[in-house]
Chains A and B, each alone.
Chain A
Amino acid sequence: MRFRAKIVDLACLNHFSRVINTIARLAKTCTLRLTVGKLYFILSDKVANGGVSMWCELCQGNFFDEFQMEGVAAEHNEIYLELVPENLSRALKTAQNAKAVKIKLTNKHCPCLRVAVELPSLSSSSRIVTHDIPVGVIPRRLWNDFREPSVPDFDVSIYLPVLKTMKSVVERMKNLSNVIVIEANLSGEMNLKIETDLVSVTTHFKDLGNPPWASEDGCQSSTQGRDLESMAEARIDIRKLQQLLAGQQVNPTKALCNIVSKRIVHFILLHEDVSLQYFIPALA
């Protein structure tokens, strides 16, 4: 089992750092899955997370100049690691003007991801900073816990409003209530609602557009035949939503959510080379 990777391009490093920062704000601990072509940051929906789950996928070729991965076995050419993304975020934070960043999986005293940053210096040799981030190696028999979640049978799928706007609305609502209702319909309308004893506030968004989902097997999709005006809604923990929105450092190319009425909200944020899926379950 081996893993080494190198980033030399500053723009790529910057981009990678921002992805890690986003992940760090969403999960205290998560699983990093390495394959030949991709990296995945996975949070599976354990009770400890409040039922939230996350699936983030990156193409390694878009970030790394060198990437070598040898999995646990030939027919299972993957590595699953448990780590604290905040550590990785910290290690990359001061690497912003690095000449090169190398990441390697090592096992001196315990398994670690060693991030070695080569920094420019006025002296003849570069400065080297190494960060040994302890990781847990997840054995193969547990890999099933981390499978890609399937897109739920949603009632409504809708594009999100401009994230910055949505974020500031949700931030203010967070001061008033712990629970927020997201509702949307197939006519491109979405409402964010909070209701307390003293006050209820609703923000209406219009003309958002609904993404076209082609059903896989050619059958009618779950939304077919649904009344266009009818709202699907879910009551969710507002802090989880705020965490998701606040963590976005870059505007996604596409941002949408799928609502399964009273069950779960599935957010999909797509950038050119990163895709992030985030599931927030509805409260009872």
Chain B
Amino acid sequence: LSRIGDELYLEPTESGLSLRAVNSSRSAFASFLFAPLFFQLYEPGGPAPDTQRFRCKVHMKSFLGIFRSLPSLEKSVGKCLILLKPRASRLVLQLHCKYGVTKTHNLAFQECERLQAVFDTRSCSSRLCAPARVLAEAVVHFPLTLAEVTLGTGPGGKISLRNFVEDEAEPSKTMVTELWLAEDEFQSVAVSPGSHITFCLKEFRGLLTFAEASNLPLTIHFDEPGRPVVFTLDDTVLEVHLVLATLSDLQSDSQPTPTNGVSHLPAPPDDFTDDLESYMVALETSTYEGASGGPPSPTFPLHTPQTVQSDPEDGEEDEDGAVPGTPPHKKFRSLFFGSVLAPGGPGPAPTQEVLAEDSDGE
């Protein structure tokens, strides 16, 4: 969750404790629902007469700081008590350790509205399920700094993963990596042929690490480009959802672009087409600027620039220059966030085109 957002949202419900996070550009949302059975003791309601469900958010770093060193926690902590004290405005985490030592952490929280991305896995036209290990082995071929990856389906039922090359990047300078997985590496494959989606790899890696550690199969639900992709993990006591915005297809009527267009590269053939002879002829007769950058390729059309769909989205700039999360691109649509009409309401509000900001309970 910390890979996604800086704030941890806690929502105790009848069906369990839900921990959620969202990123600043509202293009990634994750929720972990721990069923009551996961806990030794689970009391969602407060002792007060009003049975209003209480929701709050805390600073992710503060929360994580309490669980800093997993190995030493496993050795020394017997029990962990999480207590929400609304009147004291404190979230209490108490670690009962060996030798009678009790560590009590009081975290300040902020009340908040319900954080819920609107999505419906049942309406997704494609679904893939694979052991986490297979997917982890697949993403290892992509550099850690890679922002976006395209998941696609190819002939023969093969599934491909490919690094997404920005429109602005020069195709003649960017390395393209593509991985093909056979259908039988997956536990289940139900996809529309020729479908593909592009999403942020960084946030996905976070979930993948968790899935690998817990040895759970990962299900990917997706639909058309532009509609969010939902990754789910299911267990008897845990339900995990990660919802990521995907890049919408900006193809209008122009021809499919070579690097990342709808026309997907076919499954790797044994021999590649090879037009070097004519290229060399063209090259010898043209001028060569020098060592900087490749020579122009007169026989092949340059990448056709796309019209960028400008969204009225005010994502923050990624300022720290670190590995980008879901980039605050104008092209990525924000996830639909239901605007909550009243606290404790029945569920997410009906979807609207307007991308509602999550209000902070003000």
- Cβ contact within 8 Å between A107 and B179: no
Taking CB atoms, residues of chain B closer than 8 Å to A107 are 274-276, 279, 300
A142 an interface residue at 8 Å Cβ cutoff? yes
B83 an interface residue at 8 Å Cβ cutoff? no
Taking CB atoms, residues of chain B closer than 8 Å to A130 are 177-179, 268
Taking CB atoms, residues of chain A closer than 8 Å to B276 are 1-2, 105-107, 111
Taking CB atoms, residues of chain A closer than 8 Å to B258 are 108-109
Taking CB atoms, residues of chain B closer than 8 Å to A134 are 171-175, 294
- Give A115 Cβ to nearest chain B Cβ, in Å: 9
- Cβ contact within 8 Å between A29 and B275: no
Query: Given the complex of chains A and B, what is the CA–CA distance between A91 and B259 in angstroms?
Result: 18
Contact of B283 among A91, A123, A137 (CB under 8 A): A137
Taking CB atoms, residues of chain B closer than 8 Å to A225 are none
Nearest CB in chain B to that of A29: its residue: B291
With contact pairs A94-B141, A131-B177 given, residues A111 and B272 touching in the complex (Cβ less than 8 Å):
no
- Cβ contact within 8 Å between B284 and A110: no
Contact of B179 among A111, A127, A132, A142 (CB under 8 A): A127
Taken residue by residue from 108 to 129, chain A's Cβ proximity to chain B (1 for < 8 Å, 0 otherwise) reads as 1111001010000111110111
- Cβ contact within 8 Å between A137 and B140: no
A87 an interface residue at 8 Å Cβ cutoff? yes
Query: Given the complex of chains A and B, what is the CA–CA distance between A127 and B268 in angstroms?
Result: 10
B97 an interface residue at 8 Å Cβ cutoff? no
A90 an interface residue at 8 Å Cβ cutoff? yes
Query: Given the complex of chains A and B, what is the CA–CA distance between A116 and B268 in angstroms?
Result: 9
B297 an interface residue at 8 Å Cβ cutoff? yes
- Cβ contact within 8 Å between B274 and A129: no
B321 an interface residue at 8 Å Cβ cutoff? no
Taking CB atoms, residues of chain A closer than 8 Å to B273 are 106, 108
**8 A Cβ contacts from B170-214 to A:** 171-182, 184-185
Taking CB atoms, residues of chain A closer than 8 Å to B140 are 94
- Cβ contact within 8 Å between A104 and B291: no
B320 an interface residue at 8 Å Cβ cutoff? no
Query: Given the complex of chains A and B, what is the CA–CA distance between A33 and B328 in angstroms?
Result: 42
- Cβ contact within 8 Å between B182 and A1: no
Taking CB atoms, residues of chain A closer than 8 Å to B295 are 136-137, 139
Taking CB atoms, residues of chain A closer than 8 Å to B277 are 1
A140 an interface residue at 8 Å Cβ cutoff? yes
- Give A71 Cβ to nearest chain B Cβ, in Å: 10
**8 A Cβ contacts from A38-88 to B:** 46, 72, 82, 84, 87
- Cβ contact within 8 Å between B294 and A109: no
Contact of B185 among A111, A116, A122, A132 (CB under 8 A): A122
Taking CB atoms, residues of chain A closer than 8 Å to B274 are 2, 105-107
A135 an interface residue at 8 Å Cβ cutoff? yes
- Give B354 Cβ to nearest chain A Cβ, in Å: 40
- Give B53 Cβ to nearest chain A Cβ, in Å: 45
A133 an interface residue at 8 Å Cβ cutoff? yes
- Cβ contact within 8 Å between A132 and B175: yes
B82 an interface residue at 8 Å Cβ cutoff? no
Taken residue by residue from 145 to 174, chain B's Cβ proximity to chain A (1 for < 8 Å, 0 otherwise) reads as 000000000000000000000000001111
With contact pairs A109-B259, A137-B294 given, residues A125 and B177 touching in the complex (Cβ less than 8 Å):
no
Contact of B288 among A108, A121, A125, A142 (CB under 8 A): A142
B65 an interface residue at 8 Å Cβ cutoff? no
B143 an interface residue at 8 Å Cβ cutoff? yes
Most buried by A among B172, B276, B297: B276
- Give B186 Cβ to nearest chain A Cβ, in Å: 9
B280 an interface residue at 8 Å Cβ cutoff? yes
Query: Given the complex of chains A and B, what is the CA–CA distance between A106 and B265 in angstroms?
Result: 14
Query: Given the complex of chains A and B, what is the CA–CA distance between A238 and B36 in angstroms?
Result: 62
Taking CB atoms, residues of chain B closer than 8 Å to A142 are 288
Taking CB atoms, residues of chain A closer than 8 Å to B297 are 109-111
- Cβ contact within 8 Å between A82 and B172: no
B293 an interface residue at 8 Å Cβ cutoff? yes
With contact pairs A125-B182, A127-B181, A128-B180 given, residues A137 and B279 touching in the complex (Cβ less than 8 Å):
yes
Taking CB atoms, residues of chain A closer than 8 Å to B179 are 127-130
Taking CB atoms, residues of chain B closer than 8 Å to A108 are 258, 272-273, 275
- Give A53 Cβ to nearest chain B Cβ, in Å: 13
- Cβ contact within 8 Å between A91 and B279: no
With contact pairs A46-B291, A123-B184, A134-B173 given, residues A140 and B284 touching in the complex (Cβ less than 8 Å):
yes
Nearest CB in chain A to that of B184: its residue: A123
Query: Given the complex of chains A and B, what is the CA–CA distance between A125 and B179 in angstroms?
Result: 13
Query: Given the complex of chains A and B, what is the CA–CA distance between A110 and B268 in angstroms?
Result: 18
Query: Given the complex of chains A and B, what is the CA–CA distance between A131 and B142 in angstroms?
Result: 10
- Give B279 Cβ to nearest chain A Cβ, in Å: 5
Query: Given the complex of chains A and B, what is the CA–CA distance between A85 and B284 in angstroms?
Result: 25
Binding site for A on B (CB under 8 A): 137-138, 140-141, 143, 171-182, 184-185, 258-259, 268, 272-277, 279-280, 283-284, 288, 291, 293-295, 297, 300
Can you add 19 more A-B contacts, CB < 8 Å, to A129-B141, A130-B178, A136-B295?
Answer: A87-B175, A106-B273, A107-B276, A108-B272, A109-B172, A110-B172, A121-B181, A121-B182, A123-B181, A123-B184, A127-B179, A128-B180, A129-B178, A130-B177, A131-B176, A132-B177, A134-B174, A135-B294, A139-B288
Residue contacts A-B, CB under 8 angstroms, 8 given? A90-B175, A106-B274, A107-B275, A107-B279, A107-B300, A109-B171, A129-B178, A137-B295
Binding site for B on A (CB under 8 A): 1-2, 29, 46, 72, 82, 84, 87, 90-91, 94, 104-111, 114, 116, 121-125, 127-140, 142
